[in-house]
Structure 1
Amino acid sequence: MNNLKLIIKREFIARVRNRTFVVMTFLSPLIFVGMISLITWLATLNNDEIREIGFFDETGSFIADFKSSDQINYINYSDLTLNGAKDSVVLKKLYGLLYIPKKQSNAELARSIQFYAEEAPNISILNDIEKVIAGKLTNQNFEEKGLDLDVIENSKAKVNIQIENFSGEKTSKMSNYVKMIFGGAAGYFLMMFIIIYGNMVMRSVIEEKANRIIEIIISSVKPLQLMMGKILGTSFAGILQFVIWMLLGAVLLTVATSIFGVEAQPVGMDASLAMQESNQEEIQLVLQDILKLPLATLVLSFLIYFIGGYFLYSSIYAAIGAAVDSETDSQQFMLPVILPLMLGIYVGFFSVIENPHGTVSTVFSMIPLTSPIVMLMRIPFGVNWWEVLISIILLIGSIIFITWLAGRIYRVGILMYGKKPTYKELFKWLKY
């Protein structure tokens, strides 16, 4: 036990004092927040860009319908010829030219409209243009059939479905998105932690093996103790780094939001009141949905699956590090390690979100290699306690079994040099 404590302490100090560890601990939150701020700033610049679009309307019916906005400025070239309009658009380097030909029927006109541009136009811009034209043609069709447009407009019904459970509690329409964000973030962070710090364990073993330090260490320490010491020491360093990242990230995001955040635009009192009336209830329901989430269960489960998933995969990473002589040689064994993690993420985002209690979601939340990710994504949607308990028991059992297997590979591979191992040889090492 004393040897294990010494190894844990040695690995922890070695990681924490490493220059790269120190630099990345304080630099990573800056890079992360900087990227978010840059993307937000670039998106703001992109939204502020005004696109100038020319239009050539042979029918003369749509001239008053294309009104300029904050993002699009329409220019009428209908008094020119089509070729003259094209030349003017190219010469002035406008975004594009909309051509509305004169046809005998609206049905034929709807199929004949063209948009000329050097590059493919933004899909949202095309959708806005199509909406304007479709609305105009629809009204014309109604008028041709003798229908009163005011009566039709006043007859339109707006439906707003209210969601409520059988106990009478109202729920927001954004409820599933809220659950998806919380569960998805927990699963994704867990996957990244396993990959980053699992690789640290593997590199530590490879470095000591390459420098032949391992031969001295193994003479006084049991291989299993050495492997567990590396896993625990690296995990403690990782948890410390993770906590620092969370604290720095929260501070930097607050500062970045206050500096680069978009200020609220002044609006009229009527518009402001209308916006408050339409959104206030929905915002309250979203906040209620967040408070109704099993946050305590989610935090506790995150810690359990965080530790369990890390131990499970770190044992595999340690065994791989002991089996190879360099990081390059380890690549042949990486696919079986990364594949379950990626599978867990894909199942989480494509199956859990769609049907959190379906067969696929339930099965993968029980399989130990994917359960740390998939179960964390399921918990915000509400999972029976016995399902979580079964998943944890299977995970603990797998940790014991995988650690035992990894230890057998570790004790043989740690002293093997100069030969690239195969899966067949690894299987033989289990029998030694």
Structure 2
Amino acid sequence: MHKIWLITQREYLSRVKKKSFIIMTILGPLLIGVFYAIIIGLAINQKTGEQTKTIAVVDKSGLFENKLENQYRLEFSYFKNENSNDQNSIYGWLLIPENFTLENPSQIVFKTKNSPTVDLQSKITHAIETACKNTKLMKKGLSQAFLDSLKVDVNLHTLQIKDDGKVEDSKAEINLGLGAAFAFFIYLFIFLYGVQVMRGVMEEKTNRIVEIIISSVKPFQLMMGKIIGVALVGLTQFIIWVILSLILMVLVSSSFSAEFNEITQNVSQNNYGMTSKIALVFDTIFSQSLIYFLLLFVFYFLFGYLLYSSMFAAIGSAVDSESDTQQFMLPVTLPLIISFASAFSILSTDPHGSMATFMSIFPLTSPIIMMVRIPFNPPAWQIVVSMLSLVAAFVLLTWLAGRIYRVGILMTGKKPTYKELFKWMLMK
């Protein structure tokens, strides 16, 4: 164990002292801060700088006079013809021909000098469709007041019944977002730093440094030391990224505090349901469920990384160049790619189905799938079986990878096959 720690320490210090590590550690949060500032700036500019668009309506059919509903940042004004004296204030012209009929509403034309957005076209289309529908209903004898009374805004309040019988606000959507974020981080971390383990093994093998190192340590100790060392490097970089990113985001938010507060107040006044959801988000973030989430994340993060990194290390020890890794990379990374690609399509339709259950228990896919499935409260036995199978797979695959590593690390000048790798596993 002492030798593994020494190798881990050497691997960690040699990587964190590199200029590339220092530059990326500083550059990452700066890019996040700039991106965050751009998003806030665009949001503020959209809310404060966007002007109400006036659409001039020339209705020769007489069916839509004062019947098109104004919407947010969109107003309708009515004219007898296109010869208006106030052309500068008009964004576009909505022309309804005299032969327009409710049964065939396809002759309407919208003319503008600008390039209208999809959102604007959708608003105009919705206003016309609503007016057509209301006109048809009014012809059936229904009054405008009755039609207005049909408009109902529903804010569904979802409650969840716990196993102990208690009822509380459902936080599945918020937890799903957190789970998706954690799953994405696990996916990204395994790929980025697992490949670093593979390249580090290949570099030492190519430079013949490994022949000196294994004279004093066992190949398995060397492999585990490299895996743990790279993991600590990644965690260090991630923690620094989080801290610096939060500091920069707070500074950016404070610099836009006045404009941001004004927008928040407007949202609160116009959309109470959205405000309550935002409050629920913060309540979830600082609740005990987050601790449960974080504990599971740490487990699946560590064992998922160790599981895949051991296989990456075995690949690095078996080849001499990065071009030779392609034949071995696909079988190793395919379960990870499939789990990430299918996570949301499977779980959004049936999170408790047989496919979702299998993939959340199967060790090569469970680090991704189970993190996204946790918000849907899978049975406790499935979580336990998933964790035990992941630990068992880690022990088994690390042992097999170690047997490949001890042989492959000293072999050069030959491209191995799957058959030879299998022989190395069985070699005494």
Question: TM-score per shorter chain, which class?
Answer: 0.7 to 0.9
Deviation readout 1:101-156 (Å, 9 max, x if unpaired): 22252122x22224457998533212210121122222322332332221332355
What is the SS of the residue equivalent to 1:136?
helix
Aligned pair partner of 1:220 in 191, 216, 219: 216
2:413 corresponds to which letter in structure 1? Answer: G
Shift of 1:376: 1.7
Please say if residues 180 and 353 of structure 1, whose CA atoms lie closer than 8 Å, have aligned partners that are also in contact: no
TM-superposed deviation, 1:316:
0.9
RMSD of aligned C-alpha atoms? Answer: 3.5
Deviation (angstroms), 1:308: 0.4
User: When the two structures are superposed, what TM-score results if normalisation uses the length of structure 1?
Assistant: 0.84
* 1:373 counterpart = 2:368: yes
The amino acid of 2:336's aligned partner reads: L
Does 2:299 align with 1:336? no
Cα deviation, residue 293, structure 1:
5.9
Is the contact made by 1:347 and 1:361 (CA closer than 8 Å) also made in structure 2? no
**CA apart distance, 1:281:** 5.2
Partners of 1:171 and 1:289 within 8 A in 2:
no
| Matched ranges for 1:229-308 at <5 A | 229-260=225-256, 262-265=259-262, 275=270, 282=277, 285=280, 294-308=289-303
Q: Identify the residue that residue 163 of structure 1 maps to in structure 2.
A: 158
- Superposed CA deviations along residues 17-70 of structure 1, whole A, max 9, x for unmatched, are 111111111221111222232244345545645567665543355465668877
Specify the alignment match of 1:412 in structure 2: 407
Question: Normalised by the size of structure 2, how large is the TM-score?
Answer: 0.84
Matched, 1:323 2:318: yes
Q: Distance in 1 between matches of 2:37 and 2:282?
A: 25
* CA offsets 1:169-207 (integer angstroms, 9 cap, x no match): 3425xx332011111111111111111111111111111
Q: Say whether the 8 Å CA contact 1:58–1:102 is kept in structure 2.
A: yes
Tell me how far 1:304 sits from its aligned partner.
1.4
Q: 1:54 to 1:335 in 2, by over 3 A?
A: farther
Aligned partner of residue 411 in structure 2, secondary structure: coil
Q: Is the Cα–Cα contact under 8 Å of residues 306 and 394 in structure 2 kept in the other structure?
A: yes
Correspondence for 2:81: 79
Supply the distance in 2 between the matched residues of 1:159 and 1:421 (Cα, whole angstroms): 64
Q: CA deviation at 1:72?
A: 5.0
User: Which one-letter code corresponds to 1:171 in the other structure?
Assistant: D
State whether residues 68 and 128 of structure 2, in contact with CA within 8 Å, keep that contact through their aligned partners in structure 1.
no
Supply the distance in 2 between the matched residues of 1:123 and 1:35 (Cα, whole angstroms).
25
SS state at 2:364 partner: coil
Cα separation, 1, equivalents of 2:41 and 2:263: 20
Residues 236-290 of structure 1: CA deviation (Å, up to 9, x unaligned): 222222221221121111112222464233899xx89965866665555555555
Which sits farther off after the overlay, 312-321 or 123-132? 123-132
How many aligned positions are there? 419
Question: For residues 153 and 316 of structure 1, do their structure 2 counterparts lie closer, same or farther at Cα, with a shift above 3 Å needed?
Answer: same
Q: Is the 8 A contact 2:339 2:365 kept in 1?
A: yes
Structure 1 residue 78: Cα displacement: 5.9
Question: Is the deviation greater in 360-369 or in 385-394?
Answer: 385-394
Alpha-carbon contact 2:179-2:371 (below 8 Å) kept: yes
CA contact under 8 A between 2:69 and 2:127: conserved in structure 1?
no
The more displaced of 234-243 and 326-335 is: 326-335
CA contact (8 A) 1:294 1:380 kept: no
Aligned-pair CA distance for 1:310: 1.0
Change (3 A) 1:292 1:39: closer
**CA deviation digits over 1:293-318, x for unaligned, max 9?**
63222221111111101110110111
Q: AA paired with 2:99?
A: K
Q: 1:161 to 1:80 in 2, by over 3 A?
A: closer
Report the CA distance shift for 1:96/1:321 in structure 2 as closer, same or farther (over 3 A).
Answer: farther
Contact 2:28 2:241 in 1 (8 A): yes
The letter of the residue matching 1:232 is: I
Superposed CA deviations along residues 65-89 of structure 1, whole A, max 9, x for unmatched, are 66887755778786249xx9xxxx9
Instruction: Say if 2:367 is the partner of 1:358.
Output: no
The CA distance in 1 between the partners of 2:149 and 2:56, in whole Å, is 34
> Cα distance 1:95–1:315, how it changes in 2: closer, same or farther (>3 A)?
farther
Residue equivalent to 2:10: 10
User: Which residue matches 1:58?
Assistant: 60
Closer/same/farther in 2, CA of residues 267 and 37 from structure 1, 3 Å limit: closer
Change in 2 beyond 3 A, CA 1:215/1:353: same
Q: What is the percent sequence identity of the aligned residues?
A: 39
